[in-house]
Every structure is written in C-alpha cells, then in structure tokens.
Amino acid sequence: MRLTVSEIASLVGGTVRGDGAVVIEGAAGLGEATPRDLSFLANPKYKFQLETTRAGALLVPPEVETGKRPAVVVKNPTDAWAAVLEILDKERTRRPAGIHPTAVIAAGAKIGRNVTVGAHTVIEEGASVGDNTILYPRVYIGFDSSVGADCLVYPGVTLRERTTVGNRCVLQPGVVVGGDGYGFSFGAGRHRKIPQVGTVVIEDDVEIQANSTIDRAAVGVTRIGRGTKIDNLVQIAHGAEIGENCLIVAQTGVAGSTKIGNFVTLAAQVGVAGHLKIGDQTIVAGQSGVSHDLPPKSVVFGTPAQPIKDEMKCQAAVRQLPKLLDEFRAIKKKMGWGS
C-alpha cells in the first residue's frame, strides 16, 4: 500500500486534517506504528497513546484532537480502519490459484470461472462452486451441495451433502456445515437415531470462524441469515434459524428449532435453549443462559437471563451476603438466640 493521507480520506469518506500529502505505506496499532504507518483511535480508553505514537497519520472521530499530526476525520474510525486493512490484505496475503493435480472433482460437478481448488480437496457429484471462489487444501464439498461466488473456504472445511453456501462467504478452518443434528428417540431400552434428512442454507456475506458447526435440520432447513458473523467454537443445532446481520460470539450454543431475529448479538459462552424466539436487536451478555422467549430490543444477562439491570442488582446484593451474615451472627449473639 502506498497512499497519501488525502487518498485515504477519499477512500473512507473522511476529511483531511493537516498535511494531506503525507505518504502512508502500512497500518499498525498506536503503540507499534512507525512514521510510514496509519493508525486509528476508536476507543477513548487508548487516547493517552496519542501523545507517544509515532504513526504518520491517524483515523479519528471529529472530537479527537491530533495536533500537527495528519489525520483523517471520520464518524466511524473502526469501519474506516477495516476499509484500509482490506487493501493491505489484498496486497500482502498470498492466495493459491488454479486446480491442484491432487484435487478430486467429480465429472458431474460444476466449477465456475477462475475457481481455485487446493490440494486433496474433494468435490462430489452434483456439487457446484461459483466464480472466483477459493477452496483451500483438504476441503470437502458433498453431493449436490453448492458454494456461491467470491467465497473463501479455508483448509479442513466440510460441507456435507445438499448444503448451500451463498456468495461472498468466508468459512474459516475446521468449519463443519451439515453434520447430523443431535436427534434420538428412546424406546425398547435404547436410543434410536432419528435420521437428519434436512439441510443447511447459509445466505450471502456470512462469515463462520474456526471450528464452528452448523447442523443440518431433521427435516426442513437450518438457516444462517445474510451478513451474520459467527465466531470460533459456536454450535448451531438442527432446525435453528439465525436472522440477518447477527453477531454470534465464541463458544455460544443455540439449541434446535430456535428462531433468532435480525441484528441480534449473543456474546461469548451464551446458551440458548431450544424452540425459543429471540426478537430483533436483542443483546444477550456473555455467559448467559436463555430459557424463555425474548421480545425485540431486549438486553439480558444471567442464568436464567433477565433484564441486565435486574441481574446486576442481584449480583451486587449477593456480594453483600458475607457482610450481612456477619452482622446477623453478631445480632444472634447479642440477643442470646443460641449458637
């Protein structure tokens, strides 16, 4: 990357403060940046670093002063920073190209234009891969499954039969889409497997990070909505429906047949029971357990999850218990109420 501050401002829709002719060649955090790097400030917690950073230019919100240092002023520095890093990613990240001789591609598979197929990747009969998609080594695309255009599918990803991945999706290493849902019935003294004959649909612009699993529905569809981002080690069970533009953070589990609305955030280590409805724009704080339906725009915490203000009051009260117990024992002793 070699851009002037003015060119960066044009790229991210910002305004220049200071010398717009300064040339920037890289990007780094405030503490590591050199005079050839761009850096950014989004969290006021790190404002003190503005005094010591060596960055050649900064991305900052309007209320932050930068002195003589060149800056690009934007409403959302984090989003602008992401746009700059996209340029760096394209320039610095080496991607494989072509079809490796060890790849196994069924005669009936449909491969789009400019598709990359890495070493030891398998594409079964009836499967299809869209234009410009990159399949890294050791990817498995099952029978009659489809991957859209402009996707990145990293090593060790498994897409079982009859699953669908949309356009511009990213599947990080170890993702499994379409594994059997956890369904058994008990009879005659044993657990009998319920065949999982449904499928999974992942819509456009979804990213699923490493070692997360999306189970196929027993019947029907497990669906991940457009623009949703799923973190590492997340489990989405059979028949669940995740809406659009949701954030599902690490080690979260969503049980079967639960329907989650749009723009929902499930923070780390959240557990959501089955057959529930979670309304649009709900936020569930980390390590919460959701056992009942939540209306839109809920903000909840705890197990069982309840309005976050109520839960914080309860936790504050629990911290007072040792003191209250000591006071109660003192009162018992004074009143002669026994041991």
**Which residues are known catalytic residues?**
238
Distance, in Å, from the CA atom of 177 to the CA atom of 159, rounded to the nearest integer, reads 5
- Give the CA angle between residues 317, 268, 180 to the nearest 5°: 130
Question: What's CA 312's distance to the chain center, in Å?
Answer: 26
Distance, in Å, from the CA atom of 93 to the CA atom of 155, rounded to the nearest integer, reads 15
Write out the two tokens for 90: 């394209």
Distance, in Å, from the CA atom of 231 to the CA atom of 104, rounded to the nearest integer, reads 30
DSSP state string for 57-68:
EEEE-TT---TT
Q: Provide the edge-to-edge strand list for the sheet that holds 122-123.
A: 104-105, 122-123, 140-141, 158-159, 176-179, 213-215, 235-236, 253-254, 271-272, 289-290
CB of 280 closer than 8 Å to CB of 297: yes
For 319, counting Cβ atoms within 10 Å of its Cβ (0-12 exposed, 13-18 middle, 19+ buried), the class is: exposed
Beta strands in 217-321 (DSSP E): 221-224, 229-230, 235-236, 241-242, 247-248, 253-254, 259-260, 265-266, 271-272, 277-278, 283-284, 289-290, 299-301, 306-307
Q: Where are the alpha helices (DSSP H) in 2-152?
A: 5-12, 77-92
Distance, in Å, from the CA atom of 139 to the CA atom of 117, rounded to the nearest integer, reads 9
Q: Does residue 284 sit in helix, strand or coil?
A: strand
